[in-house]
Structure 1
């Protein structure tokens, strides 16, 4: 399965077209091709999908270093994740009116990619990516104090999902940013009780309820079990039924409706990760497995899912800590 995922993602990391730009044009001079604007992350339909596609292949190469596809990934990284290309990405990020570019979803994934690359210090990739990671960390540090309310959507602007990745990165490199994330997360979510999720929305690929719990797991330490018990007093009750059955996908050629496959995969990631802290953890893992199984056969049904779904499958299958789920 890991080899299949690697081959699938290698097929689109450098596929420039079709591509969805996230750009505000400040002048006619800003019109350019994806490769000109993003010399490292120009494939996979959009910037964030290319970034987390790289995270996916790098995690799989770390977990399965003897797969024959690893050599192809390394060669592609040597030619793509270069200092020159990353400085081009920094220049793109520094453009006028690009302050909110990919905030916060792409920011979280870029930091996760930098974290993953650091597991292979003998290769030059983490060092090359560091200037872009630091720029994004600086932007996050400036943004969070101004964010009065967390974004509780099920799409790219979800605050909690991005901060799960950002906090893991910051704890290894930026104690000030880690403390800020912990403080903001506690202030936003620490008093939440008895969740009654009105989910999913029709184009979600994240669960706001479960992503919040994931962030509080990262923040809470020994206090998390008590917080979760108050937040989900009965994970099998009627109030939580919306989160325990897979969402229905009606059209996998429609990029937004195909989000439902991603929702099922991201729920699986959350349920696997939260299971040790909930009553009847094996039953929770069964719920996670059902969600995972509903989406795994459809990762490559159409390019609207193919360019990103395998990342969320890997997130779920590695149970979010780098260990392959049973």
Structure 2
């Protein structure tokens, strides 16, 4: 089993995404219909991100494609990715995406999961050799940044579930964009919010993990969010208090890969994503402690177990195939 992202694996994942980012149906809409005029096809509502079963999965399918293109610009599928970006990321199509976001009833559309992924895509486009696509996306990017600035001060409490509403995951992804464009105001807001929401957390019991349709560990993604946002010394102290029994592999549930009983069920298939996202978090968190700290080996082993359990199931049934490769890339690159 591969444990790093090589050219062959990248091309395989890219071909999976190329097979669904322009697949319009089946489609799960996520916006509010304010009237009959809002009854449109997915492609009419979302001129770019109409594929991959739902809007956010299509966004992170594009993120993965751009990421893989940036890493392996000569892989066999590279030209197909460039053609897709040229065909789809146009000023007119992004204006159509913005129009959907601007509908009065869509204030909370894709908050916060899709917001985080859109900014993650924008960050990757900023790192591309051709930055014209980042400029094309910017009207939508700016809308998301503005919504984050408006929403976070109003959000008294975090959301700690293991699904799309998890706030730590969105902060974690948004930070990559803030750093990519050196947006100090955004990153200051993200850091202040993370401290306010999670700074006093300690002795995490990981209660309720995993739930039946989790694709995130609310415990580990919180830790990964804090690792990404806090200065090294501050995070080290926080992490020690947050998971004081790590050397005893406690809470035990975080070290045991989830069982996936039916990959044709979209909710149960989320658990493959849980295993991949846990692998990503464990790998990233392991690198926050230096050798010969024994915690590093424990975390690396936990990551390897989760990765080995999930990686063979990235493709197969469309309920997982339309999104899992993105999480595999996060895990393999951690």
Q: Using the TM superposition, give the Cα deviation of residue 238 of structure 1 relative to its aligned residue in structure 2, in angstroms.
A: 5.8
- C-alpha separation in 2, matches of 1:33 and 1:300: 27
**Matching residue of 1:323:** none
Give the conservation status (yes or no) of the 8 Å contact 1:155–1:205.
Answer: yes
1 or 2 for the larger relative contact order (CA 8 Å, sep ≥6)? 2
Q: Using the TM superposition, give the Cα deviation of residue 219 of structure 1 relative to its aligned residue in structure 2, in angstroms.
A: 1.9
1:112-169 deviation line (CA, Å, top 9, x unaligned): 0000011125242111001101100000110001100000000000000010011221
TM-score by length of 2: 0.93
**Matching residue of 1:72:** 80
- C-alpha separation in 2, matches of 1:72 and 1:128: 19
- C-alpha separation in 2, matches of 1:300 and 1:219: 33
**Matching residue of 1:51:** 59
SS in 1 for 2:105: coil
Gaps of 5+ in 1: 320-326
TM-score by length of 1: 0.96
1:184 aligns with 2:193: yes
Bigger shift: residues 277-286 or 304-313: 277-286
- C-alpha separation in 1, matches of 2:127 and 2:41: 32
1:227 aligns with 2:227: no
Give the conservation status (yes or no) of the 8 Å contact 2:249–2:255.
Answer: no
Distance 1:195 1:88, change over 3 A: same
Q: Which residue, 209, 220, 231 being the options, matches 2:219?
A: 209
Q: Which runs of 4+ in 1 moved over 4 A?
A: none
Give the conservation status (yes or no) of the 8 Å contact 2:116–2:171.
Answer: yes
Q: Using the TM superposition, give the Cα deviation of residue 282 of structure 1 relative to its aligned residue in structure 2, in angstroms.
A: 2.5
**Matching residue of 2:332:** 317
- C-alpha separation in 2, matches of 1:238 and 1:285: 12
Give the conservation status (yes or no) of the 8 Å contact 1:204–1:263.
Answer: yes
1:119 aligns with 2:130: no
1:72-109 deviation line (CA, Å, top 9, x unaligned): 00001100011111111001100120000000000000
Gaps of 5+ in 2: 1-8
SS in 1 for 2:106: coil
Q: Which residue, 303, 314, 322 being the options, matches 1:299?
A: 314
Give the conservation status (yes or no) of the 8 Å contact 1:197–1:239.
Answer: no
| Coordinate RMSD, CA, aligned | 1.1
**Matching residue of 1:200:** 210
- C-alpha separation in 2, matches of 1:115 and 1:306: 24
- C-alpha separation in 2, matches of 1:87 and 1:94: 10
- C-alpha separation in 1, matches of 2:298 and 2:217: 19
- C-alpha separation in 1, matches of 2:229 and 2:38: 40
**Matching residue of 1:23:** 31
Q: Which residue, 134, 139, 144 being the options, matches 2:142?
A: 134
**Matching residue of 1:324:** none
**Matching residue of 2:152:** 144
Give the conservation status (yes or no) of the 8 Å contact 1:151–1:159.
Answer: yes
Give the conservation status (yes or no) of the 8 Å contact 1:104–1:157.
Answer: yes
Q: Using the TM superposition, give the Cα deviation of residue 235 of structure 1 relative to its aligned residue in structure 2, in angstroms.
A: 1.5
Q: Using the TM superposition, give the Cα deviation of residue 220 of structure 1 relative to its aligned residue in structure 2, in angstroms.
A: 1.4
- C-alpha separation in 1, matches of 2:301 and 2:83: 39
**Matching residue of 1:159:** 167
- C-alpha separation in 2, matches of 1:123 and 1:239: 45
Q: How many residues align?
A: 319
1:282 aligns with 2:297: yes
